[in-house]
Structure 1
C-alpha cells in the first residue's frame, strides 16, 4: 500500500550551510534506496516536506524524521494512504528548493497534479502558495 506524509518544521538555528547540504544528501540517498519520492522545501528557517512510497517505508522514515534533532516543532499536515505516486516524475524525484524561482516551479508542477486530479494536489498547491506568500 502506498502512503504520503506531509509536514513542516522549524530548522534548528545552529545548522550551517554544510550541515544542510549533508542533510539533503543523506536524505536523498536513504530515500532513493527505499524508493521514496517527494520534495523537501527549505524557506528561511522552515522545512516543508512531502514524502510518498510504500507505507512501511514511509512510517519508518517519518519516525526517524520526528526524532531528528536538526529541526523542531514538527506539524503533520497530511498522513494518508494514496493510490498512486505524485512525485515520481518530479525531476530527480527528490530535491531541495531554496530560491523563489524553484518554489514557483514546484507550484507549477503541483498545479499540474491538481489539474490531472492527482490525490492531494489541491492541498499541496495550497501549502506551496502559503509558503510563497509567507515572509
Structure 2
C-alpha cells in the first residue's frame, strides 16, 4: 500500500456547491481505482490531500492532479509505503478547515491563523501529517 500527501493552491476560491460536486466526482473515480484518502480545504484556497492505494494507481492519480487546471503550486510533501490504509473506509473524506472547531485544538490553530497556509505547509510538511491524523480520529 502506498500513501502520498500533497498541497496545492486553488486558482479561484471554491463555493460549497462546487466543492460538493467535485467530491462526488472524486469519490466515484477513487472507488473505481481503489484509492482512499482525505482532502482538507482551508477555505482560502489551500488543499491538503492524502491519497492511498496501489503504487501505480496513486502515482497515476497524482499525475492527473498535477495537470488539473483548477489549481497550481502543487507540492508533494510526503510519500511512503505502508502496511495498511489510514482511511480504508473513505473513498475520499473531505473537511473544510474554516468551518470546524480545530481552532481550539493546540497546535492546529497556528496553521489556521496563517495568512498563507500553503507556504506554512510547504515549510512544515510534517504538520500536514499531524493534521490528517487529527481528522482521522474525528
TM-score (norm 2): 0.68
Partner of 1:124: 129
Partner of 2:136: none
TM-score (norm 1): 0.69
1:72-106, CA deviations, whole angstroms, 9 ceiling, x for partnerless residues? 111110122222111114xx4422101224897xx
SS at match of 1:97: strand
Q: Kindly state the Cα deviation for residue 14 of structure 1 after the two structures are TM-superposed.
A: 5.7
Return 5+ residue gaps in structure 2 as ranges.
Answer: 109-125, 134-138
CA separation in 2, counterparts of 1:96 and 1:58?
Answer: 18
CA separation in 1, counterparts of 2:91 and 2:20?
Answer: 17
Matched, 1:53 2:58: no
SS at match of 1:21: helix
Q: Is the 8 A contact 2:38 2:132 kept in 1?
A: no
CA separation in 1, counterparts of 2:38 and 2:4?
Answer: 11
Matched, 1:38 2:37: yes
Q: Is the 8 A contact 2:23 2:92 kept in 1?
A: no
CA separation in 1, counterparts of 2:47 and 2:67?
Answer: 15
SS at match of 2:52: strand
Equivalent residues, number: 110
* Closer/same/farther in 2, CA of residues 14 and 46 from structure 1, 3 Å limit: closer
Return 5+ residue gaps in structure 1 as ranges.
Answer: 108-120, 130-135
Partner of 2:67: 67
CA-atom RMSD, angstroms? Answer: 2.7
SS at match of 1:85: coil
